[in-house]
Amino acid sequence: MRNYLSFEGLSWLVFVLFVIIVPLFLSSFYLRLMSLIGLYSLVVMGLVLLTGYAGLASLGQAAFMGVGAYTAAILSSRFALNPWLSMIAGILLAVLIAWLIGLITLRLKGHFLALATLAWGLVITGILRNWISVTGGNTGFGSATGNRFPPLSILGYPLRDERLYTYLIWFFVLLVLFLSLNLMRSRMGLAIKALRTGSIAAASFGVNVSQLKMLTFLLAAAFAALAGALFAFKELFIDPKIADLSTSINLLIMAVMGGIGSLTGAIFGPGLFVFLESFLQEYLPWLIGRSGNYEIIAFGFILIFILHRARQGLLPLLRDLLPASPVKPINHQAEPLPKRILDRAEGEVLLRVDDVSKNFGGLRAVDSLSFEVKRGEILGLIGPNGAGKSTMFNLITGVLRLSEGEISFKDSLISKLAPHQIAQRGIARTFQHLNLIGNMSLLDNVVLGGYGRTKANVWQGMLGLEGGERERARAEAHRQLKRVGLAEQSFERADSLALGKQRLVEIARALMADPELILLDEPAAGLRKHEKAELIDLIRKLKAEGITVLLVEHDMELVMTLCERIVVVNYGTKLAEGSPKAIKQNPKVLEAYLGSESASL
Amino acid sequence: MFEPAIILTLLIDGLTNGAIYAMMALGIVVLYSVTSVINVAQGEFVMLSALSIASLRAAKIPGVLYIAVVGLIFWSIFNALAMMRQGAAPRQLKIWPILWPLFLAGLLISVVPPLAKAHLPYPLQIFIAVVLTTLLGPICYRLVLEPLPKASILVFLILAIGLHLALTGLGLAFWGPQPYDLPPFSKGGMILGPAYVSYQALWLLAISALLMLALYLFFNHTIYGKALRAAAVNRLGARLMGISAVRAGRLSFSISVFLSAVAGVLITPITKMVYDFGFLIGLKGFVGAIIGGLTNPVIAALGAIFVGVAEQFSAFYISSAYKDVIVFLLIIPVLLLRSLQHQDFEEHVD
Amino acid sequence: MSLLSVKDLSVRYGGVEAVSKVSLEVPQAALVTVIGANGAGKTSLLNAITGVVPKRGLVSYQGEDISQASPESLVAKGITLVPERRELFAALSVLDNLRLGAFHRYLKRDSTIRQDIERVFSIFPRLAERQKQLAGTMSGGEQQMLAVGRAMMSRPKLLLLDEPSLGLAPLIVAEIFRVISLLKSEGVTVLLIEQNARAALKLADYGYLMETGNILLGAAAKELIKDKRVAEAYLGLSH
């Protein structure tokens, strides 16, 4: 029982048995509800990946259902294509459309995807309702309207029986749940979780952010289209209502009810919704004395109430009652991940910032700044507040595009590359404002840093076939945590740690990328005295291991103690450069920090 | 096919609808700029004001009254809860924040029903309906959005969807699914060159133009308008100058609801009104607002007018069935353009 | 009696204590400065006093407890903050920015606003030249002048300034400081947060030195300016 596999295996066993046994005792009415819950669950799981994990919202999921349903129905009736193949075609078409929508909106701020999918949903219903020769229009598509299409069949046996079809739907629900849970535990899944916390952070350990957002959106569309096609072959009749905006909104309500960040909630939410809806549909008209879909009033208020009072949805309230699942132990014998070969000489120029400028509107935040970082050194970049240090960090890591000048790393130009490409070249960073995923363990946070060193793709992730690599990454992450002295706390949640420790986790995560150059952005901010001392030891240790460090820090004591060379910037330009001793005595530096006497004329 | 009479008629119809969409778009932009709320429920207030007048004309009590009264009661409760959450013991509660919404609710419930039964002249009925509907602006803001002052745009969007559902459903509950008509401000119309224009369309164009002018003057020449703009461009800066973010939010919601309420009065004599028709009007306003990037009022208004005109022309020359499809497809080139302009990795980097 | 009195004020962000149990006094008509290096917690201190960030501790002003007061309620009481990032209304004209500085006076139908705008223009002629220009298109120095001008429009009794010299060229810093001392001579009480220790102490009556969230020293400005510990706190020269 204490074993990880058996615990998870047991939960699955219980769930699968439940799904197998329950339909045996259900009447036709309840079988229908159960099928409906299953179909909605498929769509909502996609929505949870998209909204709960990647932080994007779609108001057009029903439209993808519609594409799946209509494509499958039309192909299998008009073109007599095999129903299974029609279903796959429907999914592929939905994915293609999602790709086009993603292409024009995913680079914009998150809410534009919501607005674009809203418009897309209206467009597709408009087409389904009006392209009568192909879709049957408002009267629907199916044998009742002279467009007969065959049911799905397995080994020549057609699945017409309601109970059998419920099993089929729930087979897909279990499959998609299994794949999604695997995915969210995998390399790609961890990266998806990082998107919501901050895409700059995700990019800094090599995640191609727009590609990953796209991937999540495509998956969500595929799940929806699958549900749509299953619905079509269940009823053997479809009408445009399936693609309606109101259906999309209902799906969103289900996701919010179940807890937008929980895959199991993606089954709980639709369950609650379907029962509540059928209850309200029965009693509200009776109460109001007139027929109509008054349940939307209740759902409107429920949606608002949940967001106000139970943002995590209703399921976590239950989940707190269950024991937490034990974590999988780390296999310390796992083969180490591949390492970069540090074949070049100490002292050569590693990073060259050449005459770089950055304008924000009329403001010149960085003004013709040049400096070099040599391999093996600890270089401090200091200057008064607002001098342009953070901007410089963002320019080096590709978060900002420079206005003029060039930045090269190991003699190749990097200033035109995207942030994740720069990270892949061997530059890692930490953040002044901590960027850890609070509800994940330290170990998983650090594993994330190794994104660029691992390869498992989304399919391997979903099928759970990255085992070896994952073990290696976990072992490596554990080694990095040990390096910063936090191995003991590997399985604690990141947000349970004091700030000083969290800064160390960020460093471990940066180290996990096996960087040649590490950029530390105010690592000592908020640290206590003894924590600073530990930090100094750690940075020295890193240097001894051959890592080059570029340090932005306000704590002068730390900078003066650690750095061999210091570059002072003010007003975006270089004020001075030299050893700590020289910098301390430089009158220009003193003036920049303490201010000039002449200023108080 | 391309006779001047047809083109002129289409243009006039397009401008009439476009003016309504422009009022929606402006409401959306004003609210989004000040509060980051994308108000999907913008169109519901069009429906509420129009159907309330229909009730008043039938000497019935309009449903908005009940929504407003219940809303005010909850306002009072929310105020009490907020004070308790700040740690005030039940005895220390300030009484005024709890009482005034109740007073107002009492006032409404005692004044409006007799007025409703009194068969007032049409302009007064319009006035009552617009005032009652506009009152829902601050009420909705207080009850739905204010409890989460620091929510993300996404959460606000979902809250607005909740509001849309609730208001549409209440519209259905109060008025049922049938369409309602309102009489035009003046009957008949005039010949304008080769085309015929109804007087109602001229009223609509004139009043919406006047409102937009008033809005322009408000935002550019009054201290309150400038204060709202200040809150929109820099919330912290505004607070430090004594401009309360909460009040700015309530005021901007009131303005955007007022625009919807007037739009309902203007358009219903031309198109009739059904409980779920406001939503579609609001969505078309959205297309205009998105053209203006949700923040630029001038481009949003022009975009919305373009939407109205494009809708009429495509209905006539392409297909009346697909006019909505074409209108909603308009946002694709707009988003594409924005996406291509996008340079830095993220729009805002600290 | 002190106009502003701060007692045991602490600010926490997540796990970090940015300000820990700071107490200070600002007497009527005095100019008090808080100096310290980057990251010492000076800005957090001001933001906490004005209610921009949550805090623990007691803040009283003219004997009234304002610990729970919201930022928007302070202007009417006579407290105005010029924040570190200036927080101007970038998309509005210089003139409108100034008018909005007097927002709470418009509410009271104050008729002397126009004269005050003229006065700000006479103090900062650059702003008069650019009154129609949008605030966001101006240079950093001009923006700082506008931020101070906007604060003057609110007729503060207590002016809180957060690093007005930040990122500015020396000539402009000198001009800003000239205006601060002018305001002081007119009886405005000033709490000035500065990194530019020398300039600030030369102007101030009293100074506090802050380091990592704590007040390290508090002394008359004349004495503090000579204190070696100031330079140590800034450059870590003790090692």
The string of pLDDT tens digits covering residues B172-207 is 999 999 999 999 999 989 988 888 899 999 999 999
**Three-state DSSP class for residue A367:** strand
Q: Is the pLDDT of residue C72 over 70?
A: yes
Determine what percent of chain A is predicted with pLDDT higher than 90.
46
For chain B positions 280-299, those within 8 Å of chain A (CB to CB) are: 283, 286-287, 290
| CB neighbourhood size of A175 (10 A) | 13
B244 contacts in chain C (CB < 8 Å): 70, 72
Which of A382, A584, A601 to mutate to test binding with chain C, by most C CBs within 10 Å of its CB? A601
Give the one of C38, C167, C199 whose C-beta lies nearest to A595's C-beta. C199
Whether chain A has a CB inside 8 Å of the CB on C91: the answer is no
pLDDT-based confidence at residue C239 (cuts at 50, 70, 90):
very low
Query: Nearest chain B Cα to C81, which residue?
Result: B240
C237/A contact by beta carbon, under 8 A: yes
Q: Is C85 helix (H, G, I), strand (E, B) or coil?
A: coil
Contact state of C104 with B244 under an 8 Å Cβ cutoff:
no
Longest dimension (CA), chain B: 76
- In three-state form (DSSP H/G/I as H, E/B as E, the rest C), the secondary structure along A450-502 is CHHHCCCCHHHHHHCCCHHHHHHHHHHHHHHHHHCCCHHHCCCEHHHCCHHHH
Could you tell me if residue A23 is left (phi over 0), alpha (psi between -120 and 50 degrees) or otherwise beta? alpha
Checking if the pLDDT of A326 tops 70, the result is no
A316 pLDDT band, cuts 50/70/90, is: low
Residues of chain A contacting residue C234, judged by C-beta atoms under 8 Å apart: 556, 593-594
| Chain C residues whose beta carbon lies within 8 Å of the beta carbon of residue B242 | 72-76, 103-104, 154
| Cβ partners under 8 Å of residue B262, min gap 6 | B23, B49, B130, B207, B208, B211
pLDDT at B342: 67
Nearest CB neighbour to A597, from listed C194, C198, C238: C198
pLDDT for B142 equals 96
Number of H helices, E strands in chain B: 14, 2
Percent of chain C with pLDDT over 70: 97
B84 min Cα distance to partner chain C (Å)? 14
Going by pLDDT thresholds of 50, 70 and 90, the confidence category of residue A325 is: low
- Evaluated on CA atoms A487, A488, A491, A492, the torsion sign reads negative
**pLDDT 10s digits, A13-24:** 888 899 899 999
Using the predicted structure, report yes or no on whether residue B350 has a pLDDT greater than 70.
no
Pairwise CB contact (< 8 Å): A499 & C16: yes
Question: Is pLDDT at A501 greater than 70 in this prediction?
Answer: yes
pLDDT one-digit tens code per residue, C136-164: 888 888 899 999 999 999 999 999 999 88
CB contact under 8 A, B242 and C91: no
Residue of C173, C179, C235 to mutate when probing chain A, most A C-beta within 10 A: C235
User: For residues C182 and C202, what is the distance between their CA atoms, to the nearest angstrom?
Assistant: 14
Q: What's the pLDDT score for residue A91?
A: 97
Q: How far apart (Å, rounded) are the C-alpha atoms in residues A137 and A131?
A: 6
- Tell me the C-alpha to C-alpha distance, in Å, between residue A50 and each of A185, A273, A354: 15, 20, 40
In chain B, beta strands by DSSP E = 189-192, 195-198
CB-based contact B300:B28 (threshold 8 Å): yes
Residue length of chain A = 601
Mean pLDDT of A311-319: 69
* pLDDT, position A496: 82
- What pLDDT shows up at residue A2? 46
Report the C-alpha gap between A571 and A574 in whole angstroms. Answer: 8
- Report pLDDT digits (tens) over A244-255: 999 999 999 999
Q: Mind listing the pLDDT tens digit for each residue in B228-269?
A: 999 999 999 999 999 999 999 999 999 999 999 999 999 999
CA-based torsion, A77, A80, A81, A82: positive or negative:
positive
Residues 563-582 of A with CB under 8 A from C: 571
Number of Cβ within a 10 Å radius of residue B220: 13
Q: Are A299 and B165 in contact (CB under 8 A)?
A: yes
Whole-model pTM?
Answer: 0.90
Q: Which two tokens stand for residue A512?
A: 């996990």
Residues A217, A106: Cα–Cα separation, whole Å? 9
Taking CA–CA distances from A204, the nearest residue in chain B reads: B345
CB contact under 8 A, A599 and C136: no
Alpha-carbon distances, residue B110 vs A128, B61, B66, B122, B139 (angstroms): 49, 12, 12, 21, 19
Query: Is C76 touching B (CB cutoff 8 A)?
Result: yes
The structure tokens listed for C42 are 């000076």
Contact B10, B195 (CB under 8 A): no
- Residue B152: its pLDDT value, please? 87
Of C140, C135, C99, whose CA–CA distance to C117 is shortest? C99
Instruction: Suggest the residue from C134, C198, C224 to mutate for an interface test with chain A (most A CBs closer than 10 A).
Output: C198
User: Which residues neighbour A472 within 8 Å (Cβ) at sequence distance 6 or greater?
Assistant: A334, A335, A336, A337
Q: Is the pLDDT of residue A504 over 70?
A: yes
Handedness of CA A309, A311, A314, A315 (dihedral sign): negative
Classified as helix, coil or strand, B292 is coil
Rounded to 5°, angle at Cα C68 from C62 and C72: 85
Do residue A599 and residue C163 have CB atoms under 8 angstroms apart? no
CA-to-CA separations, A488 to A193, A442, A443, A482, in angstroms, rounded = 24, 10, 10, 8
Q: Which of A218, A58, A41 is nearest to B154 (CA)?
A: A58
DSSP codes, A35-94: HHHHHHHHHHHHHIIIIIIT----S-HHHHHHHHHHHHHHHHHHS---HHHHHHHHHHHH
Beta strand A548-552 with A517-521 is parallel
Which of C46, C72, C132, C146 to probe the B interface (max B CBs under 10 A)?
A: C72
- A358 to chain B: closest CA residue: B344
Chain B positions touching A261 (Cβ under 8 A) are: none
CB distance A596–C198 less than 8 Å? yes
Query: Does A51 sit within 8 Å of B154, measured CB to CB?
Result: yes
pLDDT average, residue stretch B293-306 = 94
Average pLDDT of chain A to the nearest whole number: 88
Residue C237 has pLDDT above 70, yes or no: no
What's the pLDDT score for residue C238? 42
Whether ipTM exceeds 0.85: yes
- pLDDT bin (cut points 50, 70, 90) of residue A344 is low
Tokens of B96: 């005024």
Q: What is the pLDDT of residue B89?
A: 62
Instruction: Select the residue from C10, C12, C13, C16 to test the A interface by mutation, using most A Cβ atoms within 10 A.
Output: C16
B75 vs B69: CA distance, rounded Å: 10
Q: Chains meeting C at 3+ CB pairs closer than 8 A?
A: A, B
DSSP single-letter state for residue B121: -
The C-alpha angle A113, A117, A120, rounded to 5 degrees, equals 140
Predicted confidence (pLDDT) per residue in A112-149, tens digit = 889 999 999 999 999 999 998 899 888 899 888 888 88
Of A400-409, A553-562, B80-89, C195-204, the one with minimum mean pLDDT is B80-89
Q: How far is CA B208 from CA A551, B20, B181, in A?
A: 59, 7, 20
The residue among A292, A298, A294 whose CA lies nearest residue A272 is: A298
What pLDDT score does A287 carry? Answer: 84
Reference C84, options C22, C160, C8; nearest CA is C160
Contact C101 B243 (CB under 8 A): no
User: How far apart are alpha carbons A425 and A422 in whole angstroms?
Assistant: 5
Distance from CA of A416 to the nearest CA of C (A): 28
Which pLDDT score is estimated for B164? 97
* Residues in contact with A221: Cβ distance below 8 Å, sequence separation at least 6, in sequence order: A46, A61, A64, A94, A95, A97, A98
Which range is least confidently modeled, A94-98, B4-8, B275-279, C189-193?
Answer: B4-8
Residues A369 and A387: their CA atoms lie apart, in Å, by 11
The mean per-residue pLDDT over the stretch B20-46 comes to 95
